Amino acid sequence: MGDRDDLGLPVDVPPCVERVVSLVPSLTESLALSAPGLLVGATDWCTHPADLMVPRVRGTKNPDLAAVAALAPDVVLANAEENREEDLAALRAAGLAVWVTAPVTVDGALDSLDRMLRLACRLSRPRWLDDACQAWSDAPAAGGGSGGDSAGERGPAATGRRRGLVAIWRRPWMAVGRDTFTGDVLRRLGVDNVLADSPSGYPRFDPVDVAPHDLVVLPDEPYPFGPDDGPEAFSAPAVCVSGRLLTWYGPSLVAARTELAAALARD
């Protein structure tokens, strides 16, 4: 039956893994740093490491399935949020082993990466993963989920926490909602997502009609927010941050906590 991925699905990973295609930028970076020789294909969006030289198979949402199969990977790395289930099902139907990650918390991401590298890629646990675990080992106590909880009612001055809105797209405006890795990263940094109780992971919103908040976080991906594109739409202070540090789980987690905390302190 094989080992099971984050979805609980059995994956028939061969005893020796020599060829891997990654359909997720953060997983590409994770494997490239751990065992670069295993990667034989990645998406057009896999930008780290900068010197990665492998065949590209289009994007996370529209991978060239024929190109993936032609690379004859022992394992395909994917993510439940980044990749479409119909594409993953097609790859499985073609006889490929597909390992899907699906973390929604920092701790879950660290565990998911450990299992992926050891079980799906047949590697020893890398040193950078230990460093990432250490970086997040003494995070502050958890806060509330939304602006209407007890922490929100007491206010940021009383709790030492802030109420944040995390935009990820405009035209239409979309934000981070419930049960997301990004939301947990910010929670661990003292920022409670005001849309954490929304029905979906990435709800649409209106900048002039959204839950009370005192901070707007604008990552530079997937939408390329910047100082001149995004902050002007909000009345609350806005902070532009690295999308890789905020939304990727992989080697970026080693520095993400320190660098994001510094960026958030500058609003």
Q: Are residues 163 and 123 both part of a single domain?
A: no
Q: Are residues 127 and 247 both part of a single domain?
A: no
Question: Is residue 253 in some structural domain?
Answer: yes
Average pLDDT per block of 10 residues along the chain, 267 residues long:
89 97 98 96 96 96 98 98 97 98 97 98 98 87 46 50 96 96 96 95 93 95 96 96 97 97 87
Specify the pLDDT at position 160: 80
Q: Are residues 111 and 223 both part of a single domain?
A: no
Q: Are residues 126 and 22 both part of a single domain?
A: yes
Question: Is residue 91 in some structural domain?
Answer: yes
Q: Are residues 204 and 155 both part of a single domain?
A: yes
The predicted model scores a pTM of 0.90
Handedness of CA 66, 56, 246, 37 (dihedral sign): positive
Q: Are residues 116 and 65 both part of a single domain?
A: yes
Specify the pLDDT at position 145: 46
pLDDT tens sequence across 142-168 = 555 444 444 444 444 445 899 999 999
Phi-psi region for residue 92, left (φ > 0), alpha (ψ -120 to 50) or beta? Answer: alpha
Domain of residue 158, residue span: 150-264
**Domains in the chain, number:** 2
Q: Which helix (H) or strand (E) holds 158?
A: helix 156-159
Cis status, amide bond into 49, omega within 30 of 0: yes
Q: Are residues 80 and 156 both part of a single domain?
A: no
Enter the tokens of residue 183.
Answer: 């939301």
